[in-house]
Structure 1
């Protein structure tokens, strides 16, 4: 299965998103984070991601005669690489982008469904800006952003830290 096919399924994309931030989770913990996904569906997609080497088993333990596995993302396997992206048709790119946007909408809907929504307190926002950049200037910007994000991506969960999702989309404007 091509990496695009593997990663850009709505349920598998949500599973990958739950693991972002170097999290190690059992399937039971994953079920708690995705309660709207039926258990059989969740197990099937976890198995598909593990077979596709997107998830790796980092621990196993016996629980009431069964083996409980703890999984973590293989970070290098969570991106649709250039060759796979280049091989995708326009319609496949459209479907992949719609899957990505639908995942964003789902995340936002789940946030809004909380009892204590406060966008200002929670620092929730969305915005769009237009910049005029050459390709080299854009590459510099991407490098600058990577340098800013890298130390923050390495933060471990800790008291006072909230897991936050940052999603980016870059495309030329009209």
Structure 2
């Protein structure tokens, strides 16, 4: 399976999102976090991600006669390398972006259907800004964003912390 096709499948995207915080999880823990995914589907997609090296097996233990594995996301396998990105066709980009935005829509809908959803109190925000940037300035901005986000991925869950998904999209527009 091509790396792009592996990563943009809707179920696999949700599994990857569940593991983005760096916390290792068993399949049972993933099923608890993603209860709408049927067990057989979860196991099949975890196996595909593991076979591709996107998930690493950290350990195994016997639980009621079955082997329970603990998985961790392999960050370097969650993005396409520059050669793969350069080889993507316009249609490949369209499919990848459609999967990305479809995932965002589904995440937002799941959030809004929670009884406790309060976008104002929860700090929900979405907006666009138009910036005039040279290629060098764009590269600097992307590096700053990546640095700011990466620095906070090391935060452990805590009593005052809420897990939040941050998504960034950069698209050039007509002048």
TM-score, structure 2 as length reference: 0.95
The C-alpha deviation readout for 1:20-60, integer Å capped at 9, x for no partner, is 01021111111111111111111000000000000011121
Structure 1: state its 5+ residue gaps: none
Q: Is the 8 A contact 1:57 1:69 kept in 2?
A: yes
Residue 108 of structure 1 corresponds to: 108
SS of the residue corresponding to residue 97 of structure 1 reads helix
Residue 51 of structure 1 corresponds to: 51
Select the structure with the greater relative contact order (CA < 8 A; seq sep ≥ 6): 1
Pairs aligned (count): 174
Correspondence 1:92 to 2:92: yes
Distance in 2 of aligned mates of 1:136 and 1:89 = 25
SS of the residue corresponding to residue 124 of structure 2 reads coil
Q: Is the 8 A contact 1:2 1:84 kept in 2?
A: no
The C-alpha deviation readout for 1:108-155, integer Å capped at 9, x for no partner, is 000001001111110011100000000001111112222322321111
Instruction: Give the superposition deviation at 1:2.
Output: 2.4
TM-score, structure 1 as length reference: 0.96
SS of the residue corresponding to residue 132 of structure 2 reads coil
Residue 30 of structure 1 corresponds to: 30
| 1:8-157 alignment, distance < 5 Å | 8-157=8-157
Distance in 1 of aligned mates of 2:72 and 2:52 = 13
Instruction: Give the superposition deviation at 1:102.
Output: 0.4
Instruction: Give the superposition deviation at 1:6.
Output: 1.1
Distance in 2 of aligned mates of 1:99 and 1:26 = 25
Distance in 2 of aligned mates of 1:146 and 1:49 = 24
Query: Bigger CA drift: 52-61 or 140-149?
Result: 140-149
Distance in 2 of aligned mates of 1:105 and 1:64 = 38
